[in-house]
Amino acid sequence: MEPIAPEAFDRLVAEALDLLPLELARLMDNIVVLTVDRGDESDLLGLYDGVPLTERMDYGGASEWAMPDRIYLYRLSLCEMCDDLDDLRDEVVVTVVHEVAHHFGIADDRLHELGWG
């Protein structure tokens, strides 16, 4: 499909984040979700860049000074793989869940087992 405007894409991402269970969203810690056109790999849909919660040691005792982890969602890559807006909306949800799962320490293999791969 043709790429949608960045503002429209941001709304899809916000809608996907709103679908996360509140109990899960409350556990997310020191993380920001960013939308950009593309990642280093042109076919990459999203990326978690940070230290999973399962591996954190309170950021060395100075969590209030730590830079936030980042989830990147790649607008152009997602648009290119989808047929229409409904397909894009679904794929954004899957990508958000996938990257949030990495924040919680869930590896790709386990995500594939759960049907999110």
Residue 1 lies in a domain: no
CA-derived radius of gyration, the chain: 15
Residue 44 lies in a domain: yes
CB 81 within 8 A of CB 91: yes
Q: How many domains does the chain have?
A: 1
Residues 87-115 pLDDT 10s: 999 999 999 999 999 999 999 999 989 88
- Phi and psi at 108, nearest 5°, equal -55, -45
Query: What's the pLDDT score for residue 57?
Result: 72
Query: What's the pLDDT score for residue 114?
Result: 87
Q: What is the pTM of this model?
A: 0.91
Domain holding 33, by residue range, is 6-113
Residues 20-59 pLDDT 10s: 999 999 999 889 999 999 999 988 999 999 999 988 875 5
Residues 67-79 pLDDT 10s: 899 999 999 999 9
- Phi and psi at 27, nearest 5°, equal -85, -15
Residue 48 lies in a domain: yes
What DSSP string describes 18-43?
HTS-HHHHHH--SEEEEEES--SSTT
